[in-house]
Structure formats: C-alpha cells, structure tokens
Amino acid sequence: MILTSTMTGIASPDPLQHAFKVKSAPHAGRSGSKPIKVDSNLWQQWWHTSTTADKRALYIHIPFCRKRCSFCNFFENGAKPERISDYMASLCQQLTIAAQTPLAQSRPFDTVYVGGGTPTDIKAEEIAALGQAIQQFPLRKDAEITLEGRLNGFDDDKWHSALDNGFNRFSFGVQSFDTDVRRAAGRFDDKQTLLDRLQQLSQHPTASIVIDLIFGLPGQTMDIWQQDIEAAMACGAQGVDLYQLIGLGGTRIDKASEKGKVLGTQASEFQADSQTRANMYAFGANRLESKDWQRLSSCHWRRDDRERSIYNSLAKSGIEILPFGAGAGGSIHGHGMMNARDLSEWHQAQAPSKEAEVNSQLASQCLPAKVPGMILSPNPSAAFDAIFKRGLDSGILNFTALEADVVTHLHPLFEAWQQHGLAILETDSLSLTLAGRFWNVNMQTGLFEFLATNPIAEAKIAS
C-alpha cells in the first residue's frame, strides 16, 4: 500500500493552515475516457433514444463578457450586441428543436443552469426567449432554473423578464464588496450600489438570490474579508459561495505575479498567502454558521430553505447533463461531451444539412444535426468517483453507498486523514473537519491518486 503526502496531507499542529501546501486545482477529477468519433447518424439516433438517467439537468452556456476581470479566465468573447443576438437566436432554435426529441421528452429535468461568461448581459427580450425555450423541455414542477451573471447592467426589465419566463434562482458574482478591491479586480460597481440592488432583488417572495465571494484577492486584507462576510449576511441574499482565489493561468493577476507584482489597491499591495486564506475560510464558515446559515457544501451556505443549490449538488453526483451553447460541457447517454468553444465552429455545427436546407420540415426533424464538439467514451468509474466527489464536497462521505471491501481498501488513507486532523472516521461514515472542508479538493485529488496507485478490482468500480 503506497501513501504519499499529496494523498494524505502532512502532520501539523495546525492542519487548517498546513495540512497541504496549496489548493491543488479548482476541481478534482479523473477520467478514463477518450475522444470517440460519433457520426451524424449515431448523433441523431441518440436524440431519438430515451434516457436511462434518473436525475437530469440542462446546462446552457453564454460565453460573453463586457470586461475581463483580473482574476478570471472564463472570459471567452467580448459582448458585441450583434454577435450575442446571432448566438442567442441559434441557441434558442437549437433548444426548441432538442426539447421535442424523444431523448429530452423521456424524463423530466430537475434543474437548469444558464452559466457563463455573463448571461445577465443578454437583453431582456433574449432572456425571455431563452426562458421560453427552456420551458419547452419537460421540467419537474419545482425545477430550479438559475441565471448566472453580475448585478451591473441587470436592470428591472431583465429581472422581470427572467421572473416572468421561469427563472427562479439568480447567482451573482460579487467577489468582494470592498469598492477599492473591486476596482483593482476590474469590477464596475461600488459597495453601496451592490448592497442597494441586492436588498431590492431579495425582496422577491420566492426567487433565490445567491452571491459568490472570493477570498485571496489582491488588496483584500483579513479586515476587508470580515466586512465582506458581514455584508453578505446583511444584503438579503439567500445563499453565498466562498471561493478561494485560484491562480488561473493567463489572468492579469497571474501575469503580474510572474513578474513578482500584486495588482492591489492604492491602499494595499497585500495578497493573502495560503495560511491567511485558510483563516479567511475559517472566519467565513464560522461566522455564517454562528448566525444559523446552513452549510450545503464545503463552499456554499444558505440562509433558509428557499435556496436549494440543486444544480451544483447534482452535478457533483454525476447525473446526466445535456449541454447547449459554445463551450458547454455535459453528458449524453453516459458519454461525456464538450461543445466547441470557438463561436464559428459552434455555429457551423448548428447549420442544417444540405438536404435540410431545401426542405424546412426535414430541418426540424434532423436537428440537432451534427455533434457540436467532442464526445468521450463512457467513463467506467464515473458513478463510483461521483460518490467520493459529492461526499467529500458535502463534508460527509457515507459508506452505505460503497461496498465494504472498498471502504477497507481506503481505510489507510482515511486513517491518515484522521491523524492529520482532516477528518473523523466513524463506523459508517467519514466526516471532514473544518480543515478537511478547506482542503477537500486536495483530499479528492489525493483519493483519486491513491486509487490510481493502489488500484482495486474493476468490478467494484463499475458496480
């Protein structure tokens, strides 16, 4: 049995700060999948075949932003209005056609997530058309339908258009409330503007308003972070995500740090190191929980049960996610898939075939016409891996979902985590400590490394 410190962390008097050196990646994962060729016939056959999944979602990607923020590499395309309207017309047509297929109709969808980029930057009428296209899918009665984006530019017309057309959850990137930290990060609004708008939107009796905060931004001291947490609790939002800043390649922050610079505020060039970020996480988690905010995952808390976070929790459980839009990722009949990121490539895949061009009835039967990107072979360990991803992310890994042999096989790793202050091992579960929750992505990565180094029988993984 081989155990390394990247799997187990290290022994330290303060595991929250020192169990690992640095957060390994935004998400953990492994894939035994390879790209496969799927021709147009098989692709269309898939859309005519019922699903076998019991939980399912739609993910719809809107890859446009008005500005490139200093910390983020999700920026894909500048927000030119005509480029967006061409895209939205094609996307809504694609959704409408896909919604009528036997695959889409065979079972209701639990949740829909419209992410980006900045979906809130599309026009009010485009939000309405998108909402209506989504409503053509069979949705569960209480399906969660999220629109992601930012508060800047999300005016009352867009808000009402979204509510009137089925959206019931709104996830806004705030990042930090501090005006100077925000400006340094390339954000538009000041603190008071954000607080006023969040207060207004949160008056809605049923919609769930969720905000993202990042800790570790340039210029964001512990004092500012503490004020960020207080503002998050005071602004009226039903849910909050606390994300540690990940050094993503190609961002302005990343390029500056290669030159030894910090893109801080006028007042401060401070940027929290990994230990300070651990303390920031602990402050946020403890403060929210002391005010009865409920933890739904290692980085997400809710004020009350209006906020459900169904998409995020199901996505980590490895459910079927039909992806739409350039750059969207998901799965279809157990195959991972990733749509082309490049806009013209994506548009080309939507174009009807030559026969369909002359016969509009055929066009509506044939679409979705071609694979809009890459398809992967089924990952035999997907369901097995999802048990660990979801369990460690939620803070409790229940052994009831696993065979006894698998738990025995993993015991040396679980014991090491317990010795290192990351988890508490019980007979039928493993609970992560606060330190474990902070380091949970490293633990997930470590567990997959453990399984790759110390394999178990394939039969157990596939079962």
118 binds ligand SF4 (CB under 6 A): yes
Among 55, 68, 287, 347, binds ligand SF4 (CB under 6 A): 68
In whole angstroms, what is the distance from residue 206 CA to residue 168 CA?
7
Closest CA to 307 of 319, 317, 295: 295
Closest CA to 298 of 423, 382, 194, 200: 423
118 binds ligand SAM (CB under 6 A): yes
117 binds ligand SF4 (CB under 6 A): yes
- Rounded to an integer, what is the distance from CA 79 to the centroid of its chain? 22
For residue 277, count CB atoms less than 10 angstroms from its CB and return exposed for 0-12, middle for 13-18, buried for 19 or more.
buried
Closer of 47 and 154 to ligand SF4 (Cβ): 154
Structure tokens at 139: 């949705």
Q: Which stretch binds ligand SAM (CB under 6 A): 11-19, 78-86, 144-152, 231-239?
A: 144-152
128 binds ligand SF4 (CB under 6 A): no
394 binds ligand SAM (CB under 6 A): no
In whole angstroms, what is the distance from residue 226 CA to residue 174 CA?
15
Structure tokens at 188: 């538009």
Residue 68's binding partner among ligand SAM, ligand SF4, none (Cβ under 5 to 8 angstroms by kind) is: ligand SF4
Among 214, 343, 392, 402, binds ligand SAM (CB under 6 A): 214
Closer of 117 and 336 to ligand SF4 (Cβ): 117
116 binds ligand SF4 (CB under 6 A): yes
Strands (E), 383-435: 396-398, 423-425, 429-432
Residue 212's binding partner among ligand SF4, ligand SAM, none (Cβ under 5 to 8 angstroms by kind) is: ligand SAM
Q: Is 86 helix (H, G, I), strand (E, B) or coil?
A: helix
3-state secondary structure 167-203: CCEEEEEEECCCHHHHHHHCCCCCHHHHHHHHHHHCC
Q: Which stretch binds ligand SF4 (CB under 6 A): 104-112, 116-124, 385-393, 455-463?
A: 116-124
Closer of 78 and 378 to ligand SAM (Cβ): 78
Among 128, 181, 246, 280, binds ligand SAM (CB under 6 A): 246
Phi, psi of 448 (to 5 degrees): -70, -35
- Please report how close the Cβ of residue 117 comes to ligand SAM at its closest, in angstroms: 6
Residue 246's binding partner among ligand SAM, ligand SF4, none (Cβ under 5 to 8 angstroms by kind) is: ligand SAM
Q: Which stretch binds ligand SF4 (CB under 6 A): 112-120, 223-231, 320-328, 392-400?
A: 112-120
CA angle in degrees (0–180, nearest 5) for 448-442-118: 105
Q: In this structure, what DSSP letter does residue 19 have?
A: S
Beta strands 239-244; 300-302: pairing state: antiparallel
69 binds ligand SF4 (CB under 6 A): yes
Number of residues assigned to the chain: 463
Q: Match 């039967």 to its residue by tokens.
A: 365
Q: Which stretch binds ligand SAM (CB under 6 A): 69-77, 328-336, 397-405, 452-460?
A: 69-77
Phi, psi of 202 (to 5 degrees): -70, -10
Among 8, 94, 101, 175, binds ligand SAM (CB under 6 A): 175
Q: Which stretch binds ligand SAM (CB under 6 A): 70-78, 302-310, 420-428, 454-462?
A: 70-78
Structure tokens at 376: 């992967």
173 binds ligand SF4 (CB under 6 A): yes
Closer of 21 and 27 to ligand SF4 (Cβ): 27
Could you tell me the CA-to-CA distances from 303 to 76, 234, 238, 313, 316 in Å, in that order?
33, 11, 5, 17, 22
Contact residues for ligand SAM, defined by CB under 6 A: 71-72, 74, 116, 118, 148-150, 173, 175, 212, 214, 243, 245-246, 248
Site residues, ligand SF4 (CB under 6 A): 65, 68-69, 72, 74-75, 116-118, 173
